Amino acid sequence: LLMAKEGCNLVINDLGGAFDGSGGETKAADQVVEEVKKLGVKAVANYDSVSDFNKAKAMIDQAVAEFGQLDIIINNAGILRDRMLFNMSEKEWDDVVGVHLKGAFNMTRHAAAYFREVGKVKPELKNFGRIINMASDAGLLGNMGQSNYGAAKAGIAALTIIAAMELKKYATVNCVVPLARTRLTTDATPKFADVMSKLDARGYDVFEP
């Protein structure tokens, strides 16, 4: 919603599944689209998985077709399949790494190609694109039970550094390490959700500033 308040037209991508990626319905993306439109900007929904290389490309194409250009990509898709390493299945590893790390690569790769093509056609434009990735303290510091998630997030941090080097003519690439109250964090960690719902001593909501 902050992007909408700043005047951005948006493609809202959400599979609509549970925190572990299972299930799926359009309600989550559709609700955000309606909220965005109330702020006076345009928005369309997308329900595809960023882990699919071709569907990620289609998402970039959708933004350009709907709004005439692409300016910003925010890679914040995520699922959790927490398990201690000795119990983790190959699928639990692949699913999490696929959404977080491969998904970030897919979207960044296709956005990079678009920004490069625009830059070649309009050489007067310098460093005009923006790519924002989401890492986690689980990837930087480690977190028990999250070897798949932590490895993916550490990979995203490295991807960001390299992409920033390679795309410096066309785009700024940054990575942030957020901690916020979201559908993913509250559903996956219900005990932590209680902590996240409380205000601090000043009455300040640190998880939704």
Q: What is the pLDDT of residues 79-126, one digit of tens each?
A: 999 999 999 999 999 999 999 999 999 999 999 999 999 999 999 999
What's the pTM? Answer: 0.83
* Residue whose pair of structure tokens reads 């977080």 in the numeric block: 100
**Domain range list for the chain:** 2-190
Q: How does pLDDT run across 149-201, given as a tens digit for each residue?
A: 999 999 999 999 999 999 999 999 999 998 766 655 556 555 555 655 665 66
Q: Which one of 27, 149, 191, 204 is the catalytic residue? A: 149
Determine which one of 55, 153, 169, 191 is catalytic: 153
| Beta carbons of 104 and 157 less than 8 angstroms apart | no
- In 3D space, the residue among 31, 149, 169 whose CA is nearest the CA of residue 80 turns out to be 149
Name the more confident of 50 and 184: 50
Active site includes 153?
yes
Q: Which among 203, 201, 189, 182 is positioned nearest to 77, based on CA atoms?
A: 182
Q: Give the position of tokens 């678009």.
A: 114
For this structure, is 47 an active site residue? no
Q: Place domain 2-190 in its CATH homologous superfamily.
A: NAD(P)-binding Rossmann-like Domain (3.40.50.720)
Q: How many residues does the chain have?
A: 209
In this predicted structure, what is the pLDDT of residue 26?
A: 76
